[in-house]
Amino acid sequence: MSKKEAKVLVLWLIALVILLGLLISFPLFLGYASQGDPENVININSCQNLLTPNTVYNLLNDVSANGTCFNLMANNIILDGNGFTVNYSTVLSGYGINSSERSDVTIRNIKIEQNNTKGNGLNSGYAIFIKEGSRIKITDNTIKTKGNSASLGIYFYSTNYSLINNNVLSTDGTSNNHGILIEKSVFNTISLNTIITNGTGDNSGINNNNGIYFSTSSNHTIVSNTISTHGDSQGNNFGMQIIGSNNSIISNVISTTGAYRNSGLLVSGGFNILDSNTINPSGLGVDNKGIDISNSNNSIINNNSISTTGSTNNYGISLSSRDYNNIISNNIISTSGTKDNHGIISINSYLNNFTSNTISTIGESSHGFFFDCRGRGFPLISCLNNNNLASNNLLSISGLELNISSTYINGTYLIDQNIKSYAIGNSTTEGYLIFRNTQSGEIKFTQPINGSGTNLSNDIQIGNNLALINESKTGLNKSANITLYNLPTSIVNVSILRNNIVCNLTSSPPCYNFTALNAGEIKFNVSFGGRYILNYTLLIQAPRNVSNILNESNIIIRGITYEISEEEVNRGISSTIKSEDRIIIKSGDQRYEIRFRIINETALYLDVTNNSERIMFIGDKSGFDVNNDNIFDYEITLLSIENNKSSLFIKKVIIGEYETAEGGVSFGSGTGEGEGTGQSKKVISLNKGKILYYLAIILLSFGIIVVIFLIIRVYYKSKNEERKESSLSSPGSGSQFQVK
């Protein structure tokens, strides 16, 4: 074999090894090849240290310990209780099961009980304590703890990428009795657990009984748990207390009871999702809140059902300190008590969006929405600025539907929001409010307003070619910029009328128009309240928009339809459209539609064919699968929002990876500029994974065939060379030369 051939053979062998490695590791990467239980099995019948890695420990009977029962001291251990009972801490403080700095540990099918009576001085009785672990799985266990304080069902400290699933936990003691405590940990999943916590307290103590308590922990998924917390004489009984960011809290059922301050969800941190939870806090005293957030930003509180009861200050949703850029939408809220039971209360919080919530309240001065600033070192000048109320349904409100107590409410929008009873600030208010009807126009006050009444939606009206400010209300009779949408452009003899009298620069009071009066969307300034309309004569009696068409249901689609070609989106195209307009992308015989509706000056809802409606903020970039093949087809960037128009950049995607709504990751089209913006947990798509898996098998088979071919070729060539050398060196072969 020549050196060149030897090098080629070595390269092919290296390629073969790489392909074999891919084939072995790929199923594990995809997640559909399970590692399974270790083959080594050890049966145990007493409390002890578990020292052997890669082992299943089977418990054969009930066991008991004065302090700690089991210490897990190796990796890849499964402790299977087979339904037997672990009775720990009968005399000393200890743990049912303890593990430190271990990975790939499973604890399953065990009844764990702290055989201790309350009040005998024992504290910190943890049923399961995991410190600095990873890939821990705790499932199908029944846990009961009781002690003076810190009786914890499961305690994770600095433990990551783990699962707590389908356990029943009951904790009992005086205070700090948490069903599950997660501290300084990331990327854990807590699902399908039933958690009951109890505490008694005393005259000087304070209960702090949490179903689930996260301390400085982020990127967790908490889904479909049932939680009940109770405290006797004291307060602070929380269904969940979350201190951390990027957590998803979804579809949990939470009930809390106690003397006072019994909150369903107490959350501090950014970018959390609270969705589709059922929350029922109640107590004999005050401060029973459904969702209580503080120092929270960029979180989504959506589709929750909340019912609170108590004496006073029982709130559905409470924003209490420096909460900003949160979206509170589509929640159903009911509050009841004797007094001050507000549906949504916002203290020192700004840039939040309250959209499509349904609220009812019972009790004296129990308002639908209550906004206030309360100092405490907060910059008052901006403490309530730029909050937006849009399309909320105020069903039955015992107090005011809207109470803005503070004097600092600049930039607050009321969008398509019907409000009856109201109170806005006082005579020294600094509030510049904006009222918007997304179909008809807006009134943006340029002077601070205040006042109260029984029907704000009558006192300030925006309709088709109409803007009305009740000038009999002194606090509302102020200067404003008025914008009217969807007016005809083919008009003559145009003028602004105030109370049916022409209003212009020379009238008293004057009006000043910022745009041409035939612009279709006109903007003008008024000095005082009144009834304002645009008076005109149509030049051409025709619809404003000739591109109105019928959709599949024979319903007229109003607004302008912009068609763009596949070639244009391949290059990337910018488009600025109004809320009533739409974009059609032509792709062969297919047509894909893009529509949107504006939330405020920084965000909108975007609706794309075959995609659920999603929220986008200015600067956001999002991928869309329009043909249901789990591959992004188009990427849309929201560039700006101004004057009820949005500017979008649309581009065909090329290659990338994105997260599906079902929680999978698909490989296919993308822009090459990063991953998709899905919020679900990353799991490789099974079908896509199988395709890649089969491709790896094909490549491996091809590689093996090529290597075998090379080996055979080299073998026969080597044999031929040997025969040739043999024939040349043997007597009588070839010509013989003699020198004489």
d(C-alpha 224, C-alpha 243), whole Å: 20
d(C-alpha 383, C-alpha 347), whole Å: 8
Of 444, 411, 609, nearest to 524 by C-alpha is 444
Question: Between 412 and 654, whose confidence is greater?
Answer: 412
Question: Between 323 and 164, whose confidence is greater?
Answer: 164
Most confident option among 15-19, 122-126, 309-313, 426-430: 309-313
| DSSP 8-state assignment for residue 103 | B
Question: Between 342 and 715, whose confidence is greater?
Answer: 342
- The 10 Å Cβ neighbour count of residue 58 is 17
pLDDT band at 734 (very low <50, low <70, confident <90, very high): very low
Instruction: Tell me the torsion sign for CA atoms 630, 634, 639, 645.
Output: negative
Residue-level pLDDT at 689: 47
3-class state of residue 526 by DSSP: strand
Using CA atoms of 716, 718, 723, 725 in order, give the dihedral in degrees to the nearest 10: 160
Q: Which H or E element spans position 275?
A: strand 273-275
> Nearest 5 degrees, angle CA 702-CA 708-CA 709?
90
- The 10 Å Cβ neighbour count of residue 485 is 22
In tens, the pLDDT along 184-221 reads: 999 999 999 999 988 764 322 334 678 899 998 999 99
In tens, the pLDDT along 25-55 reads: 444 443 333 357 888 999 999 999 999 999 9
pLDDT band at 664 (very low <50, low <70, confident <90, very high): very low
What number of helices (H) and strands (E) belong to the chain? 4, 67
Token code pair at residue 282: 């109640």
Token code pair at residue 423: 């109170």
Per the CB < 8 A criterion, the answer to whether 57 and 49 are in contact is no
Q: Look at residue 716 and tell me whether its pLDDT is greater than 90.
A: no
Give the chain's mean pLDDT. 81
Residue-level pLDDT at 120: 41
The model's pTM is 0.70
Of 166, 167, 163, nearest to 153 by C-alpha is 167
Residues in Cβ contact with 305 at an 8 Å cutoff, skipping those fewer than 6 apart:
277, 278, 279, 331, 332
d(C-alpha 165, C-alpha 117), whole Å: 28
3-class state of residue 589 by DSSP: coil
Of 152, 165, 168, 176, nearest to 88 by C-alpha is 152
Bridge partners of residue 478, in order along the sequence: none
pLDDT band at 442 (very low <50, low <70, confident <90, very high): very high
Q: What is the mean pLDDT of residues 158-173?
A: 93
SS3 string of 601-668?
CCEEEEEECCCCCEEEECCCEEEECCCCCCCCCEEEEEEEEECCEEEEEEEECCEEEEECCCCCEEEE
Per the CB < 8 A criterion, the answer to whether 102 and 72 are in contact is yes
Q: Look at residue 340 and tell me whether its pLDDT is greater than 60.
A: yes
Q: What is the mean pLDDT of residues 723-730?
A: 60
pLDDT band at 399 (very low <50, low <70, confident <90, very high): very high
Q: What is the mean pLDDT of residues 396-415?
A: 87
Using CA atoms of 332, 334, 339, 340 in order, give the dihedral in degrees to the nearest 10: -10
Residue-level pLDDT at 592: 84
d(C-alpha 61, C-alpha 568), whole Å: 72
Token code pair at residue 315: 């709130």
Percent of the chain with pLDDT strictly greater than 90: 48
Question: Between 730 and 369, whose confidence is greater?
Answer: 369
d(C-alpha 290, C-alpha 721), whole Å: 88
Token code pair at residue 103: 């990975």
